[in-house]
Amino acid sequence: MFGDLFEEDFPSVPNNHYEKGKKVKTKALEPAAPRESTNLSGLRNQGGTCYLNSLLQTLHFTPEFREALFSLGPEELGSLEDKDNPDAKVRIIPLQLQRLFAQLLLLDQEAASTADLTDSFGWTSNEEMRQHDVQELNRILFSALETSLVGTSGHDLINRLYHGTIVHQIVCKDCKNVSEKQEDFLDLTVTVKNLSGLEDALWNTYVEEEVFDCDNLYHCGTCDRLVKAVKSAKLRTLPPFLTVSLLRFNFDFVKCERYKETSCYTFPLRINLKPFCEQSELDDSEYTYDLFSVIIHKGGCYGGHYHVYIKDVDHLGNWQFQEKESKPDVNLKDLQDGAETDDPLRMLQAILSQEESNLLPVDQLGQKLLKKIGLSWNKKYRKQYGPLRKFLQLHSQIFLLSSDENTVSLSKNYLQPKSDFQRDEQRTFQTLTSESPALNDDTSCPHWFDINDSNVQPIKEKDIEQQFQGKESAYMLFYRKSRLQRPPEARANPRYKVPCHLLSEMDAANIRLQTERAECDSANNRIELHLHLGPRYHFFSGALHPAVSPAESTWNVTFDQRQTLGDLRQSLLQLLDFWEGVMVLSVAKLVPAGLHIYQTLEGDERTLCEMEITDGEDIFVWNGVEVGGVQVQTGTDCEPLLLNVLHLAASGEGEECQQWIESPHVFPSNAEIGTVFTALAIPAGVVFISSAESTGTEGWTAVPTEDLRKTFGELGLRNGSSVLVQDAGSDNYSLSTEQGVWSIVADETSWLQVTNLCQLESEEKQVKVSATVDTVVFDIRIKAIKELKLMKELAENSCLRPIDKDGKLLSPVPDSYTLKEAELKMGSSLGLCLGKAPTSTQLLLFFTLGSDSQPGTEMEVTVEETASVRDCLKMMLEKSGLPGDAWHLRKMDWCFEAGEALREEDATLRELMLCSGDTLLLVEGVLPPLGFLKVPIWCYQPQDPSGHHTSPQDQAKSQAATWRVSSSTDTSSGTHMETALHHLGDLEISEDATLGDLKSQFVLIWHVLDAMVRGEYPAGSPTCAHWQAVLHASSLWRLAASSDWRNCCFFQALTLPASSEFAVPGPAFLRAWTLESRRPGRLLRDTQQLLRECRLGRRMEICLEPLEKEEDLGPQDLVLRTQLRLAGERTYSPPKDMVWNTTRGCTSASLRQRVADFYSLPVEKIEIAKYFPEKFEWIPVSSWNQQIAKRKKKKKQDNLQGAPYYLKDGDTIGVKNLLVDDDDDFSTIRDDTGKERQRQLALGGKRSQEAQHVQSSDLFSGTPGQRRGPEASLSIHVGSFR
């Protein structure tokens, strides 16, 4: 789901192409790479754990946290060796954190692994591949640590370092009474939208006040009435380390989708919190904080990548910053000022040549191009040259793309040499030494690093400003009190306060790593060479071939590539004791023609590594002149080519026959093309060439006479290319030229294959009939009948039908057409079938039953193109033997599924632009008339959505009045869903009808059928017949059910025992919902709105809910189901509908006030929560997240219709009366059961999910159109230590 935003820690293995005879050497698992120049260790990404890595690095670079964790010894935490002992009390999470921090400090490796830590969390491979929110992880990890450290001296570690308090106050303006509520925090969550920065957000939250006046008064407990009041919030206590979470993700209610806020949001490196605190009499140092970590999110709201900027407080890293010279690049400037910017090849080559490693990510290459010329690749070059990656692939001789196509470099042959000036001035280095100053003159100032999983890079302090805005921007901020000073002995001392047992473990691990690296280095430098011995080879057919068995001619030796060529030569002289004379070593390769020598190795003092001799290299050992008495040419220019040569075979009498034969021939690349005549003993003729990929006669190109002296290489021939040689006297093929290009053209005479499908016996099943493109189909049919020796009568009652590659018979070909007019190619297969071919005014149509077409089930019918849809439908029903007239026709769309319906039954097939060979679907059911909608109608009676408590009387009444659809399983949540719905039937209603008309007709039908059920209108009576006629004749409403009213769904519904409980006096007593996933979805409010404007869609269903009293909802009214929690029981009273006017804002304060008024309770004595039935969870609605600026009189953007509540019509709100129930829990027993069932289903599906991951070749290849899976919650499993 995250696309390319994840950055892999392990380099992918390139898909190298090895020549024939070479093999890939499988290397053993290499030890971890040592630390880079920064002397800091990163963390490996397990697939989706970049968020975890960023947070762990922040905690690691918080020395006070790290050392407090180190101070807990094995006597308190236990030992990892005893973790599998059920009797031992081992606190695995803090132990694994200690070990991980020790590895980051002391172990000499580029990146440490978090696998042991995530195993202690109880995570599976599936959870390690899924990315989560780092703000959520921060809270969950701290909670897990607090639980793990219960009963130890570090039980208050999190509370001591990160815990602070906020006080919320409401002051009555009349009696000055102060209502106060204190709230703990581990991190401050601040808004980003419509704010300029952190200080602005803190000012709005902790300085500005919310005023209660006018119609938004506050109920004062002292005054016992509604009064004017002021609400404010202040920071009461501050922690040593302040964590700030930025709310960058919001919900767009217009587009109905989440989005990331990328606007500019500043934050200071040092901040004074004194203006935001309740107490301000202390020294400023108590309120001053310094920024030391910034966690950055790159991407969107549905995926991305995290990395972190860290300040090295203890100077543990080696800060060396590489800074590009600020002078403009001379070459690029010349290109920019000239016309060369139109040449993308030169621009990209110039940009890459300025990089020291000549290597760049493709995305950065596009950004540098934009910076240099002022236009992006898409605007400047895409129209002419295509996408950037495709352009780089087409110029592979200049640009080298990595195997994953994410990075690009210049080929070695195209590297531009740098001048001495550029080489000396291109980069300058700033280090911590006195030779070049760092960010400031004070060398004791800590420096910043960018830690991106396993990659650690130094950065400047000013680089933090780049994370103020954009898709890659700051997401979490970490501050430490400025007065916190580190002891001098901790500076640049990674062993400071690390426990002795961890020091010993890390020292032993470093010694083991050094040994493994030495062994691996030795193994990696040993390469296998294939030695081809010259005395045991001979030269023929343009290449070298073994004169003896391969085992005797080729020896495999293993050699250290760090040794020199002279060492190799001396070793071979000792090995080959029979060798006499000079020994020359040359690089050879196996090509299709045999073995060819390319380059002679020279310079005995050079190592094999310097000469780029790789594993599996072929080395030819010879005297450097001849092999078997034949002088051998070497080099790329004379590489032998194995070509396929086609020429005419001659008969014994010397006459040419008409059969072409193909034979392989070997020619040197630098030989003239004319030598092919000598090889075939042909004095002269015409040569045609074709690439290895071309097939058929269209790909042949004649070589002009003046080009016969060109070489095979100059004409672009490669191994496997084909050459056709035609004698000058041959007339089987003719030459033609078009636009100066010679091509070979076959004679017009060819053949078609005709198969007997007349169900008549014949000696031959199929015959080949010679024809040309101008041959008439009638002549081919008559020839086929004669050659198949069938009855002559078939000439009047047969036709030819093309057969496609799947064996399906296509529409017959008219006899009057030529092959060219019928678009038939030579070699096509035709079927000779009974029946006449359609005339020019007739159509042959295929049709099948059902909503889709299955191979082999199609039937066909021939109709006049002037026939109507009704006539065509009648013919197809007769052909298929189907009774009745309740059918309609649909076209088949490009997905071979049911498409557009043929509604106009009187329209002709020609008017509907149907053609011969089209397939129609015969679908059961009558289409609604034009301008009508076919809408399924359900009756809805709400019940307690969670199965909570009702009284026995209410319960019996609810069960009697509840109509349930059959039980089903909600596959999305894995829970048993039961809804109070009953299907009343499919109803046809005019698109011009309003929602009020629908309700009115529903009430009319309900009353009439109810009277029939009660016997007021006996069957067969005039009154009953009258009302049946009225119902069927309605212009707005038609029952799409049985003509017998006793069989309609309405009547069956009214015969239920609960029917007497419902009384619907009028349309105002009905509430209309759309039905989504068997639940009420969107509330349809406006009774005057036309149905076609309600966005009902093709298969939208409507459920109607009877009400006890009239209802007229406005556009700002929200209908909520409220339930009051019963004191002392984990149950709720039956639900009550509450209408909430959100004109003044959909805020928590407004909702709490409305609920308090609804239940006649004091607003400060209630707690409310929203219920999420799919998760069996209640989320409390906070009463302190809404503030109004006193000066601006402008509401902030807090909205209950956004995250995390997403409040909408029909949602359930739980209400708790704090006067009788002060429990914090909102859940019920059924919620516990539902969660347990979900957990069991998730565990049961884990195996299948892991199997899918193994089968998938790319776990993150989601495409733009791919559906996103449901978001999974994050959890850490901790044992009980109380």
Active site residues: 50, 305
User: Residues with Cβ < 8 Å from 580, sequence gap 6 or more?
Assistant: none
CA 1196 to chain centre: 34
Instruction: Report yes or no: 960 and 1058 within 8 Å, Cβ to Cβ.
Output: yes
What is the Cα–Cα distance from 145 to 186, expressed in whole angstroms?
13
Dmax of the chain from CA atoms?
129
DSSP SS3 for 636: coil
- Amino acid residing at 1124: L
What is the Cα–Cα distance from 1104 to 1111, expressed in whole angstroms?
13
Q: In the structure encoding, which two tokens stand for residue 877, read together?
A: 């029903």
Instruction: Report yes or no: 1110 and 1096 within 8 Å, Cβ to Cβ.
Output: no
In 3D, which of 796, 747, 793 has the Cα closest to residue 773? 747
CA 1160 to chain centre: 51
DSSP SS3 for 1239: helix
Tell me which long-range contacts 1141-1146 makes (C-beta under 8 A, separation of at least 24): 1141/1114, 1141/1116, 1141/1117, 1142/1116, 1142/1117, 1142/1118, 1143/1116, 1144/215, 1144/216, 1145/1186, 1145/1195, 1145/1199, 1146/1118, 1146/1199, 1146/1200, 1146/1201, 1146/1207
DSSP SS3 for 243: strand
DSSP secondary structure letter of residue 895:
T
What is the Cα–Cα distance from 882 to 379, expressed in whole angstroms?
60
What is the Cα–Cα distance from 614 to 454, expressed in whole angstroms?
29
What is the Cα–Cα distance from 1124 to 1220, expressed in whole angstroms?
12
Burial class (CB in 10 A: 0-12, 13-18, 19+), 802: buried
Q: How many CA atoms, within 13 angstroms, populate the side-chain half-sphere of residue 984?
A: 22
Strand duo 448-452 + 407-410: pairing: unpaired
Output the CA–CA distances (angstroms, integers) from residue 450 to 49, 300, 379, 464, in the order listed.
17, 21, 33, 10
In 3D, which of 535, 526, 719 has the Cα closest to residue 19? 719
In 3D, which of 569, 446, 476 has the Cα closest to residue 54? 476
Residues paired with 1052 in a beta bridge: none
In 3D, which of 740, 671, 682 has the Cα closest to residue 709? 671
Tell me which long-range contacts 354-359 makes (C-beta under 8 A, separation of at least 24): 354/329, 354/426, 356/426, 356/427, 357/409, 358/409, 358/410, 358/415, 359/407, 359/408, 359/409
In 3D, which of 1136, 1146, 1124 has the Cα closest to residue 1207? 1146
What is the Cα–Cα distance from 139 to 69, expressed in whole angstroms?
18
What is the Cα–Cα distance from 26 to 748, expressed in whole angstroms?
57
Strand duo 526-533 + 617-622: pairing: parallel
376 phi, psi to nearest 5 deg: -75, 165
Instruction: Report yes or no: 506 and 107 within 8 Å, Cβ to Cβ.
Output: yes
